[in-house]
Amino acid sequence: MKQDTKVQNLLKELQQNTGIEFTIINDNEESRDATLFKLRQLVMACKEKGQREYFLEKVLAGEISSAQLTQEAKRHRLDMETKFSMYYIEVFQSHGVDVYEMLETLFEKQASVIIVPINKLHFVILKKATEKEEIQETAQILLDMLNAEAMLDAKIAYQKSEVQIETLQEAYKEVRLAMKIGKIFYTQKYIYSYDQLGIGKLIYELPISACKAYIEEAFDGEMPPEIDEEMFITIRAFFENGLNISETARELYVHRNTLVYRLEKIEKELGLDIRNFEDALTYKLILMIMDYIRYMEQ
């Protein structure tokens, strides 16, 4: 690997902290992000208990006992009473961007923000809560910054309620679960809250056998037939527009009669008239359950 300035500086810092000279022998440029992340982790681990980020990463992972928590937090100058907003970021492709460095740049000189790297594509942002802060709005601003300034494809899960040091681990579990459930059931969205996952959270708790039994019951003992892309797009648009035919036709750029024809075709194929609220609800559940089954069987 061609050792750029960042790698060289981290290797030098490691040598200063450990007295050991390290060498990178992997010359694969694609592994640069992973190498930088691992080197940072080593540097943080080697420093004499002076890195809040490393301590907080261990708290999130449940590696700090409750008996140690208060003492260790004090050592790292963290007030147990301080309230934080928590944001969990997942970046899908870094495209060679050093995401950690980018986040540092975005929050430059903001002492109220702590960036905790989980790995090269996952990060936790802890931001000291303020009275006027709207957590959901802050999540949207953060996502916009990542998209616009860093050109990164990312999703964010956040904890709606404020958290303290002693509740960080539980909050972390919830935002990770929110991200997982959001990516299964709400693929068109980019921001998720554990407290706003709706019926997706309920389906996620169900056993696969119960899900399959519900689908078979709705289709007389069989699994639903495959539908083509046009039907799928029509159904999704119809649901997103509140079962409103005029609004759906406008969104799809089709004549109202064309949309009615498609809906009748869907009824013939599926045996469900999604213009009817009860049938629409049934099929909406089926679509979500099918997404869940596919996820679990992969």
Comparing 14 with 295, which gets the higher pLDDT? 295
Same domain? For 89 and 136 the reply is yes
> For position 143, which CATH number holds?
3.30.70.270
Mean pLDDT of 247-267: 91
Backbone CA torsion sign across 242, 244, 250, 256 = positive
Residue 3 has pLDDT above 70, yes or no: no
39 shares a domain with 109: no
Task: Provide the number of structural domains found in the chain.
Answer: 3
Residues 74 and 169 in one domain: yes
DSSP code, position 88: E
Per the structure block, which two tokens stand in for 12? 């030098």
pLDDT digits 0-9 by tens, 81-121: 999 999 999 998 766 777 888 888 878 767 788 899 898 88
For residue 286, give its domain range. 206-297
Q: Are 291 and 177 within one domain?
A: no
* 226 and 142 part of one domain: no
Q: Are 83 and 164 in contact (CB under 8 A)?
A: yes
pLDDT tens-digit series, residues 150-194: 778 899 999 888 899 999 999 999 999 999 999 999 888 899 998
Are residue 73 and residue 180 in the same domain, yes or no? yes
Mean of per-residue pLDDT scores for the chain:
84
**Pair 256, 246: CB distance under 8 Å:** yes
List of residues 6+ apart from 258 with CB closer than 8 A: 249
